[in-house]
Structure 1
């Protein structure tokens, strides 16, 4: 059971290379907005974080992590070989250095000595190999399987691990920062994926999925300039109003998702700072391309032109975002396709594609819950209204928040989703668009796209690589199964007693999910 502090006070609970991505600045809004950081971090206190995500079906297995509760847990408890810094660059963590061959197909990582796990186990190179091997092999069900599949060999040489890749990958250090790839202690060459052990800043005291978790500082943590809190509490509060009220009343210190419809109330609340960070987070409506009618690209294109993207940005995001173009690459990323025609609401063009599919009208269900993204159900209602003008009867089926990710996402043919994005194009495409990827949520397979994915990964010529990623974005936009109407800023809020560095990471919400390690109380 959870400690009573999680449940007291009426808190409701529900549910190498320079960075290849440009990092958006963090905007602090509110009466204390000018206080971006304290000059000198101080130690002490308990950080209480209320989160919009978390499910009773979550698991300790790192290959299964897929929502913000599990990802924040991952970074609070664990360390990784590499870390994405607040400025978007890749920096050493458990790998204190690395060196690549001239073709970027062989990488030698030197593993940090003397790192202590919560159990007292001391990090070895063998732990690194075993941790990555958990995600590899034909029988792997890990969502990280596609991004580690190119590793053909791992060899231990003292405190070095030599990786051999099937082909060159200039982004390999970024791959190793993926949140599915924590380094866990091993025994006889294997890890226990259900362990609560870790070598990160905090150790788990209690955990109940779908409810919350409590942590205490790991006194043996190797980073002297991190982990300033004595303890951390994660609390699942699906309900946006309850989450916001918990912050205003002082029952929590930080909420990771502010309700954009009522964010103005937070801006006026004394002692509260609203934090908006632009990044690669995007909201989508994936279609199962194996299932009729979505197996017909003309139907998919009709649905893409039947949605008013700007209306969703203005209404659902309250302007905290930008329109999407049915591919997952953000406008700040290095190879963002600046030449691709932006899709806009066009009911006549939608009707054209229906005619190309041989139909005059279309009846289709879309399954949504606000667990998919904040405002998903309202977005579906707005979508149904604009789609009607194109002869599309879109029936919005409201699904329960709890269990959404196990019972609806990738189970029903048309639903909602959110992605935090990835630091490189290759990681994003490999995770969610590659043929056979476990999280290819549209079950899409495109021969030319998959050819380009492999070629671009190994290409060292920047101009050729740019051309490949431009073409891949166009293929996704015009032939893919994902309708991506908007990119959303990360909008959270916190007590003005909480402080952080001058720059807040935008690779994920919650300062790259490292808030417990990087922030402190004034």
Structure 2
């Protein structure tokens, strides 16, 4: 599944029951919790080194911390920074840092660690998916507990960005091994990672606010199969399953043992199109693909009704949203006419590459059926997450179409990235986006944001499907679950068991 940027997810089946000692912990102890995830972190536990949202789901605010913290309602509050000041022109941020904070290895947290983290994130060798953002920052150390950040791109949401997983503060000496031996300032440390099965975190007793942390141990199990997800919850092997497969929800509604939480999101589920593959290098063909797809049917088939149609790469819950669902609205006759206009005289044979999440596999079946009605014959190819990351998202870009959810709130910069996986290139977009990023006037920024959404809708570099709603099923005794999810996060510091 895919924070300004793209987030994707990794997968591993884990359908075997937990060992008996762990079951006892899950069911009998109030200071331990077992959470489940459909997708395993990949390639490691460093959110600055991979695009998978599942990395942050395990590590953000648990192992690693950031200068600011994003809350379930989207508000931003201090975390490693006690406070900050913003210059009138929105280009200079002065952060006052907490004193007495240290990393898990005993090294001090200070302004030098902040500078190292952000210079590393924007450096030549960076694999941070927000590399462009950090490359435009200049970080200056004033003293051990004061840091000034200068940004070339004006962004009123900068404090929000500072709370995302790509902005974690790392310890310089241990940064290179964070993928397997994560070292942060958070309330939990890695206890064990059994690849393909589970990650265990244990409370760090030297955490500055250790007394406020209720859970001593948290186990994240990886269960990709929907039937196994249901079985684990019903058996009591799992205390909570954030973002469970929606198709299973009906079995838990009305059951007094469980709570069902439906969350809003900033995510966009799309049918990504390789814009360099013929005939999809023609905008008329891409628009035809959009018009061949009935979004409401896809929402029902892929998300079991949990979703809202979108007409551009921007969700209805975000500030400045423009409803563009009419631009390429469902119209098979118009789709066929556009294909003919583009010189497509016979059937188009393509492959839709589908990563493991059920919304992709289920949605693929619906979309393939719809495309066939306008002369696009789609073969469905199921792949594991590592294959998807390498062949689709990675440098190979060896695909025709794929279904994926981009879950980060502000990631319009993806369209300006050279060689991004959907291979969209537009000088007009780059000019418009750069203007947006360097304009401080709030009214003008909203106008530019609307223009950006319209341009993307008209260029149709992908088929815009829906804004998903996430569903969490949990035991009724689990407290502190996020109601809404502006970012993907399982914040253990707020959780407890009654």
* Fold shared by both chains (TM-score > 0.5): yes
- The residue aligned with 2:52 is 67
> What's the offset of the Cα at 1:225?
7.2
- The residue aligned with 1:520 is 496
Q: Decide whether the 8 Å contact of 1:170 with 1:457 is kept in 2.
A: no
1:459-478 matches, within 5 Å, as 459-478=439-458
Residue 418 in 1 paired to residue 405 in 2?
yes
- The residue aligned with 2:470 is 490
Q: 1:215 to 1:193 in 2, by over 3 A?
A: closer
Cα deviation 1:424-443 (Å, max 9, x = unaligned): xxx3112x222327xx3312
Q: 1:187 to 1:370 in 2, by over 3 A?
A: closer
1:505 to 484, 489, 492: 484
Residue 238 in 1 paired to residue 227 in 2?
no
Residue 310 in 1 paired to residue 290 in 2?
no
Find the aligned partners of 1:295 and 1:459 in 2 and give their Cα distance. 31
- The residue aligned with 2:199 is 213
Q: Which runs of 5+ in 1 are unaligned?
A: 12-42
1:31-430 matches, within 5 Å, as 44-54=30-40, 57-75=42-60, 76-187=62-173, 192-194=177-179, 195-223=181-209, 226-327=212-313, 329-338=314-323, 341=326, 343-369=328-354, 371=356, 373-401=357-385, 403-410=387-394, 411-413=397-399, 414-422=401-409, 427-430=410-413
- The residue aligned with 2:5 is none
Q: 1:326 to 1:6 in 2, by over 3 A?
A: same
> What's the offset of the Cα at 1:326?
3.3
Find the aligned partners of 2:423 and 2:324 in 1 and give their Cα distance. 27
Is the partner of 1:455 in helix, strand or coil? helix
Cα deviation 1:163-186 (Å, max 9, x = unaligned): 122243322212212212211112
Find the aligned partners of 1:491 and 1:218 in 2 and give their Cα distance. 30
Cα deviation 1:272-305 (Å, max 9, x = unaligned): 1111101212211111212222222111111111
Find the aligned partners of 2:358 and 2:308 in 1 and give their Cα distance. 15
Find the aligned partners of 1:515 and 1:206 in 2 and give their Cα distance. 19
Find the aligned partners of 1:237 and 1:211 in 2 and give their Cα distance. 8
Find the aligned partners of 1:341 and 1:457 in 2 and give their Cα distance. 27
Find the aligned partners of 2:223 and 2:392 in 1 and give their Cα distance. 20
Q: Decide whether the 8 Å contact of 2:119 with 2:139 is kept in 1.
A: no
Q: Decide whether the 8 Å contact of 2:68 with 2:76 is kept in 1.
A: yes
Is the partner of 1:364 in helix, strand or coil? strand
1:8 to 19, 34, 38: 19
- The residue aligned with 1:35 is none
Is the partner of 2:402 in helix, strand or coil? coil
Q: Which runs of 5+ in 2 are unaligned?
A: 1-15, 23-28
> What's the offset of the Cα at 1:490?
0.7
Q: Which moved more, 1:453-462 or 1:217-226?
A: 217-226
- The residue aligned with 1:436 is 418
Is the partner of 1:262 in helix, strand or coil? helix
Is the partner of 2:411 in helix, strand or coil? helix
- The residue aligned with 2:8 is none
Q: Decide whether the 8 Å contact of 1:185 with 1:191 is kept in 2.
A: no
Is the partner of 2:287 in helix, strand or coil? helix
Find the aligned partners of 1:378 and 1:118 in 2 and give their Cα distance. 42
Find the aligned partners of 2:382 and 2:323 in 1 and give their Cα distance. 36
2:438 to 455, 458, 477: 458
Q: Decide whether the 8 Å contact of 2:48 with 2:165 is kept in 1.
A: no
Cα deviation 1:102-135 (Å, max 9, x = unaligned): 2111111111111122222221111111111221
Q: 1:97 to 1:288 in 2, by over 3 A?
A: same
Find the aligned partners of 1:381 and 1:9 in 2 and give their Cα distance. 39
